[in-house]
Structure 1
């Protein structure tokens, strides 16, 4: 299919702007090299977030709803029901081959024995009316949304004015299978441990954690951040320590893709900061955000341990270190920024591009838009021509960037299976690094927080290149 349609897709991608992020990462070459000629090959991506709207028409074929699971308290996560729910059963021997201490194994085993997650087939219809799954829905779309009719002959056109649907769209790996694993908005370590073990037990090829996790209990100032608002206990600390050990242990087999964080700091969010190899070789892949202008997205964390960056949106900066402002936006007109322009402060090009992804329809979606939502930045109506009533959204952050990389790792994993190879998490991570584009044409340095950071600290090895990364496998 790709051989016949490659030139068509190339022309379509060149003209169809909402998929600009795919063009930027050399997607077509990577996708084409990962499509089997005969028998389909499954690549499983476990998305650990606050849920996914599995009924979205661009996600319904991509998601394995029978394996989708919820480890959160019901009021704080996507609820599932099919009339035949059953408690999840863990394999007691699943930990035997992992390099874990006896204490960590005991802590994890206790959680497995009292796990309260439920296997399910489909979400309640009321899931459409909660905003909790909106973030995960956007991440899932970037990983592997499937445009209905995409794999048909001939392919639906994006540029002839008569597309099969009003919103032609697909994710980085529309052949992968996505398994949503729901946790609370601010998850406990126990939820995350169960989510990771569940992914391992069900043959995960890629694990994606698009959210940073608060771990203030590790700080030296005595502060403790417990999502349950209870006092710190020895069991809490044991679970956090077991979680970290488990992340390292699983990543040595299965790559774990993590968002670097959106606080604009010179250190990575947890668990992305575990990508540093001071505790040994690991397959934790930390991903920062790059604006379409080639600068680090203003909010994107940076620093030691950053693996690669991927396309995302941008945000305004106005401080003593730099001016980065959308001069065409409504906020610029409402505030007296103009008086400071030209006053000698460093200027950094602001990027107005954002990432298009899937969303829960209506005003409870990621952006909170109604079907004809109002975008206060550019003073225009959003989704005005969307037949799916706001089922798409502009997305961003390191969540978007890391979701794109999770899709690339899924392409790489399927390519390895096609070549009869089994690549570990560290091996896949190294290939991403070796093939990333870190040249000035792709990544441009800026001063943030007064830091004169190097390109490596700002961008890791550079902008992920799907074509080169997939092509490196079996070459």
Structure 2
């Protein structure tokens, strides 16, 4: 993959770096970008359920990766709309209908019955006229997550620079994710504080027998948040009442409580990988903070390309850390500034600036082609009869614990694809296997676990 170069107008250029450095530091790819000691051994494809935004399936590197006929959108309809599946095919889906994850959870059980009916008798629970909310305008985050998990190298057609020639050139796009042999099922949901859509998303991942579930986002946790405020008052009113953004009815309160237990139940059968948050949360964001030794929930923090915990990522109570970008820090605990940043002024900066810990390396991932996404394009309709006008918008700078959690989801998928992790491994067994692949690294007085595919080799961080 061509080196990715960042340039600053008024300062020296940022160092160039390999766009796939994160795969090499995790030991998944060697220096020549070839599989590092693994090959696909599984008969069927490992299935990753991605609960996030929608994805741009037109991206060349995601062709054959997105399991389009199972993709579901829960943003536009309570029981889901299928963007790419004919309604009359719903009754033929292979479902894990006898799952017991909703036992003793009456609200979840009722939603499971409804969802099963929707999926097995589509004509009886159709949503005529409802259009899925899967426009590429909404798909930036999901497209980047999907690329990190399972993108495949591709060759695409591009307009020749000589417009008069009216010819097309083959353009190699050698980008690759952690497990290019897996399949990804996008489960797109809205971001409103509403528990039913999240419950249905998790139930759907259970019904389609996902091998790995990834939730690279925060979701509301109003019950525990309000419980922490009990006993405190402001101007004579309970603080929980003053700070509550909305008023929850009893049914919603019950469902929020059940959602927590449902995630724990599902994680017993299949691992749930969660981003730990980008604001130094001590115990991680919800649901990452549900991770414990007796469930299959995995909280993921971030490490920069120098091997230090990223400036925004917590170090405590995190299951594993994975590669990502970095951020500047200037507080009582640490000063970590980017001295190459345009406009950086050293005047007044204490001498203990830990600039040696800051890394300018980003994570590079797939982006929505065209004007949407993170990179953007001058062309409103980027593709012209399937021919690329340009490829700059096909990739983007990405980061945060979202990127790190995507890499861990891909790492777990690769475990099953390669045969190192048994097909039958449940959530806890998968988590145990992941931890067995980890090295214990240090960041000053902090220790954290970092997964390395070839366990005999220490990670070689490229910016250190």
Give TM-score scaled by structure 1 length: 0.74
2:68 aligns with 65
Is the CA contact 1:275–1:282 (under 8 Å) kept in the aligned structure 2? Answer: yes
Cα RMSD for the two superposed structures = 3.7
**Mapped partners of 1:23, 1:320: distance in 2:** 34
CA 1:349/1:204 → structure 2, altered by over 3 Å: closer, same or farther? same
Compute the displacement of 1:408 (Å).
0.4
Match of 1:54 among 41, 44, 57: 57
Q: CA deviation at 1:110?
A: 2.0
Alignment partner, residue 246 of structure 1: 262
Q: 1:465 aligned to 2:452?
A: yes
1:111 paired with 2:123, answer no
Structure 1 runs (4+) deviating above 6 angstroms are: 85-92, 116-120, 123-126, 224-227
Give, in angstroms, the shift of residue 347 of structure 1: 4.9
What does residue range 272-311 of structure 1 map to in structure 2 within 5 Å? 272-277=288-293, 281-304=294-317, 306-311=318-323
What is the deviation of 1:464? Answer: 1.2
- 1:93 deviation in Å? 5.0
Deviation at 1:388, TM superposition (A): 2.4
Does the C-alpha gap of structure 1 residues 430 and 127 become closer, same or farther in structure 2, counting only changes over 3 Å? closer
Aligned counterpart for 2:247 among listed residues 231, 255, 274: 231
**Does the C-alpha gap of structure 1 residues 78 and 359 become closer, same or farther in structure 2, counting only changes over 3 Å?**
farther
Instruction: Confirm or deny: 8 A CA contact 2:55 2:134 kept in the other structure.
Output: no
Of the candidates 148, 173, 177, which is equivalent to residue 179 of structure 2? Answer: 173
1:420-431 → structure 2 map (5 Å cutoff): 422-431=424-433
1:80 deviates by 2.5
Residues 178 and 74 (structure 1), Cα distance of their counterparts in 2 relative to 1, 3 Å cut: same
Give the 3 Å change call, closer, same or farther, for CA 371–217 of structure 1 in structure 2: farther
Q: Which residue of 2 aligns with 1:455?
A: 446
**d(CA) in 1 for partners of 2:409 and 2:289?**
17
* Aligned residue in 2 for 1:154: none
* Larger-gyration structure (1/2): 2
- Residue 266 of structure 1: SS of its match in structure 2? coil
Output the CA distance in 2 between the equivalents of 1:468 and 1:255: 21
Q: How many residues align?
A: 398
Q: Deviation of residue 286 (structure 1)?
A: 0.9
Report the equivalent of 1:183: 189
Q: Secondary structure at the match of 1:320?
A: coil
In structure 2, C-alpha distance between the alignment counterparts of 1:24 and 1:390, rounded to whole Å = 26
The 1:181–1:276 alpha-carbon spacing in structure 2 relative to 1, beyond 3 Å, is same
Alpha-carbon offset, residue 348 of structure 1? 5.0
Contact 1:264 1:301 in 2 (8 A): yes
| Local SS of the residue matching 1:27 | coil
Shift of residue 360 of structure 1?
A: 0.8
Moved more, 260-269 or 81-90: 81-90
Which residue in the other structure is 1:94 paired with?
A: 98
* Paired residues of 1:316 and 1:350 also in contact (CA < 8 A): yes
Structure 1 residues 63 and 421: CA distance shift in structure 2, 3 A: closer
- Where structure 2 has 5 or more consecutive residues not aligned to the other structure, the ranges are 2-15, 157-168, 230-238, 380-387, 457-464
Asked whether 1:362 is paired with 2:353, we answer: no
2:222 aligns to what?
Answer: 216
Q: How far is 1:46 from its partner? A: 0.4
Cα distance in 2 for residues equivalent to 1:133 and 1:187: 20
Deviations 1:253-312 (A, max 9, x none): 1011111111122221111111123xxx111111100000111111113322x1111110
For residue 363 of structure 1, report the CA deviation from its aligned partner.
Answer: 3.4
In the aligned structure 2, how far is the partner of 1:124 from the partner of 1:149? 32
How much has 1:70 moved relative to structure 2? Answer: 0.8
> Could you say which residue in structure 2 is the equivalent of 1:339?
347
**Alpha-carbon distance in 1 for matches of 2:322, 2:398:** 13
**Structure 1 stretches lacking a partner, 5+ long:** 1-8, 10-14, 151-162, 373-384, 446-453, 470-475
Contact 1:111-1:194 at 8 Å conserved across structures: yes
Which secondary structure state, in structure 2, belongs to the residue aligned with residue 463 of structure 1?
Answer: strand
